[in-house]
Chains A and B, each alone.
Chain A
Amino acid sequence: MAKPVSKATWLRHWPRALLAIPFIAALWVPFYNRLEPTLGGVPFFYWYQLAWILIGAAIVLIVYGIETKITRVAETARAPLNADGTPGDIL
């Protein structure tokens, strides 16, 4: 019994590996500790890190999207009438 469950968990969670990317980008200091190329007068050091806030958020969104989709597909297959894939309330 345990084996199929862990396989399903793995399938559902593989996109989480993508979340390692922001760590590499943010912690590899020698790569971005430079002035050039500047962007609109802003040195690389600053706009690179600001840009990674947005890229990091996009990665989290993508992972969330893929996971939600996988979960929904899995649950629809199991119980078509109880596909509670739209999670939570909005306010």
Chain B
Amino acid sequence: MTLNVTATIVFVALFLFVTWIGFVAARWRKADLNILHEWGLGGRRFGTVVTWFLLGGDLYTAYTFIAVPALVFGKGAIGFFAVPYTILIYPILFLVFPKLWAIAHQKGHVTAADFVGDRFGSRYLGLAVAVTGIIATMPYIALQLVGMEVVIGALGFPTQGFAGHLPLIIAFVILAAFTYTSGLRAPALIAVVKDALIFITIIAAIIIIPAKLGGYGAIFASVPPEKLLLTPPSGDSLGAYSAYATLALGSALALFLYPHSMTGILSSSSGVVVKRNAAMLSAYSFLLGLIALLGYMALASGVDKNSDHAGGFALYGPNYAVPALFLDQFSSWFVGVAFAAIAIGALVPAAIMSIACANLFTRNLYKTFMRPDCSDADEARMAKIVSLIVKVGAVVFILALPQAYAIQLQLLGGIWIIQLLPAVLLGLYTKAFNAPSLLAGWAVGTAIGTYMAATQGFATSIYPLAIFGITLPGYAALYSVVLNLLVVFALSPVFGALCRGTAAEPAK
């Protein structure tokens, strides 16, 4: 691979542009950034349009743009589960999260752990929520780096040794610097640029590439037939059907429990903004569906048979499919635009994720357990420092360990984060359940979900659940959270009776 000069110039120019925006953002809707909710939630003042850009930039990450078409490219129809998943996230967003926003606004909650801890009167439950959020998000940040690494490699930069890592390190130093100074305002403003670039790239891709390849009919005709549809159930196994449906439902239920989605939701200016976005964000979903089809376009154009790309596929596997497709089909300057879109698409979620982790650490570990008396300024300073540590951690992670670890941990991250569902969801609607039972459910769900993934050697999150003589291969996250809920339902009356018993004693 030789350096693609034109593309690199466009890429670097766009990158410098968003860097400038990142620093200017500190002065946007100026406020005291030494207060945590100003730095970490943008002062909760983002209206419908900014929230649309922010959540869109947050949820549809660089890794999504690389990994979803890569899965379709490599495995076919099953990779399309990202589409039913995005169909389901918006009814969930509409139903659940305006209410959470209202409570968080009223009580000044900055994180989901604040809400859960306060609602059930247990800082240990809050701690469990915070630790789960941080641990599940870290590999997600690392995966953003994978997305960035792939496009930097595809531009023709050297990929080995320190020189190979330098572009990535520079990008992350920039990211860390503007996140530190501007907080959530930086990704909110950069998201506007990122989303514009992504929309331009994808619309160009779905018009230009099919035209070159002979239309959508020709593209689908060149896909091997066994990849086009899910394998129907055979024997006593529901096969790909149950896997597809549970992956979609489980991922949709998990999405808004991630700290970075929560940060995006809580930074909006009202519950109505959240509701409106539940409808408007589907523009991104549609885009994601089209992006998934890029996997088939890559198959149809035969990028894997082009000897120019052999090196890229050897390094990055199917993740190289989309960059290779763009390199083959676009002129150099537009390759620069497209790759910049993906790289900036990594910056926005990585910034929001590190801010979300910093908020969790500061509010629910540092302030709750270490320094309950810390001032607002201390709190904000701590969060800024933690956001730096989180990013350094992600860079070290990706440079020191093989990519496969990040992907496996991300799989586990989905299984871990969904265990917060009972506490968040039940907390919104009822006080009938108590902290000990929710903690027990969380522990059981986390353990069982991790065990299910372990039985598959952490290679997949699909667990073949055998029940009544039928095998239901499905997403371990969904199966384990059902167990979690059952434990909560079973133990709540027990702990409730115990608590009432002990509470009644001293009263007498």
Binding site for B on A (CB under 8 A): 16, 19, 22-23, 25-27, 29-30, 33-35, 38, 40-43, 45-46, 49-50, 52-54, 56-61, 63-64, 67, 87-91
A77 to chain B: closest CB distance in Å?
20
Closest to A59 in B: B91
Closest to B85 in A: A26
A49 touches B91 (CB 8 A): no
In the bound complex, how far is the Cα of B225 from the Cα of A34, in angstroms? Answer: 11
Answer whether A29 and B272 are a contact pair too, CB < 8 Å, given A22-B91, A90-B47.
no
B245 touches A27 (CB 8 A): yes
On chain B, the residues within 8 Å of A53 by CB distance are: 83, 86-87, 282, 285-286, 289
Of the listed stretches B273-281, B354-362, B393-401, chain A binds B273-281
A51 to chain B: closest CB distance in Å?
10
Which of A52, A64, A87, A89 touches B279 (beta carbons < 8 Å)? A64
B452-482 vs A, CB cutoff 8 Å, 1 = contact: the mask equals 0000000000000000000000000000000
B22-54 vs A, CB cutoff 8 Å, 1 = contact: the mask equals 000000000000000000000000011110000
Q: Does B293 belong to the interface (CB within 8 Å)? A: yes
A56 touches B272 (CB 8 A): no
Which of B83, B91, B229 touches A35 (beta carbons < 8 Å)? B229
A88 touches B272 (CB 8 A): yes
A19 touches B77 (CB 8 A): no
What 3 pairs across the A-B complex have the smallest Cβ distances?
Answer: A41-B217, A57-B282, A87-B272
B286 touches A91 (CB 8 A): no
B228 touches A60 (CB 8 A): no
A56 touches B48 (CB 8 A): no
B229 touches A45 (CB 8 A): yes
Which of A30, A35, A45, A56 touches B87 (beta carbons < 8 Å)? A56
In the bound complex, how far is the Cα of B227 from the Cα of A43, in angstroms? Answer: 12
With A29-B230, A41-B221 given, name 12 new contacts (CB 8 A). A27-B84, A30-B232, A41-B215, A41-B219, A43-B220, A45-B230, A46-B80, A53-B86, A57-B90, A57-B279, A60-B279, A64-B278
Binding site for A on B (CB under 8 A): 47-50, 77, 80, 83-84, 86-88, 90-91, 94-95, 215-221, 228-230, 232, 241, 244-245, 248-249, 269-270, 272-273, 275-276, 278-280, 282-283, 285-286, 289-290, 293
B270 touches A35 (CB 8 A): no
Please indicate which of the listed interface residues B83, B215, B286 has the most CB atoms of chain A within 10 Å of its own CB: B83
Answer whether A42 and B91 are a contact pair too, CB < 8 Å, given A57-B282, A88-B269.
no
B241 touches A64 (CB 8 A): no
B235 to chain A: closest CB distance in Å?
16
Closest to B90 in A: A60
On chain A, the residues within 8 Å of B48 by CB distance are: 88-91
On chain A, the residues within 8 Å of B272 by CB distance are: 87-88
A60 to chain B: closest CB distance in Å?
4
Which of A26, A61, A67 touches B88 (beta carbons < 8 Å)? A26
On chain B, the residues within 8 Å of A87 by CB distance are: 270, 272
B248 touches A91 (CB 8 A): no
A63 touches B84 (CB 8 A): no
In the bound complex, how far is the Cα of B272 from the Cα of A88, in angstroms? Answer: 7
Please indicate which of the listed interface residues B50, B77, B90, B270 has the most CB atoms of chain A within 10 Å of its own CB: B90
On chain B, the residues within 8 Å of A43 by CB distance are: 220, 228-229
On chain B, the residues within 8 Å of A42 by CB distance are: 216-217, 220
B50 touches A16 (CB 8 A): no
B285 touches A88 (CB 8 A): no
Which of A19, A45, A56 touches B80 (beta carbons < 8 Å)? A45
On chain B, the residues within 8 Å of A27 by CB distance are: 84, 88, 245, 248-249
Closest to B221 in A: A41
In the bound complex, how far is the Cα of B217 from the Cα of A27, in angstroms? Answer: 26
Answer whether A33 and B232 are a contact pair too, CB < 8 Å, given A27-B84, A89-B269.
yes
In the bound complex, how far is the Cα of B279 from the Cα of A61, in angstroms? Answer: 6
B275 touches A64 (CB 8 A): yes
B230 touches A33 (CB 8 A): yes
In the bound complex, how far is the Cα of B80 from the Cα of A35, in angstroms? Answer: 14
B95 touches A45 (CB 8 A): no
Closest to B280 in A: A57
Which of A33, A56, A67, A91 touches B91 (beta carbons < 8 Å)? A56
Answer whether A35 and B228 are a contact pair too, CB < 8 Å, given A49-B83, A49-B84, A91-B47.
yes
A33 touches B241 (CB 8 A): yes
B90 touches A56 (CB 8 A): yes
Which of A30, A35, A54, A89 touches B286 (beta carbons < 8 Å)? A54
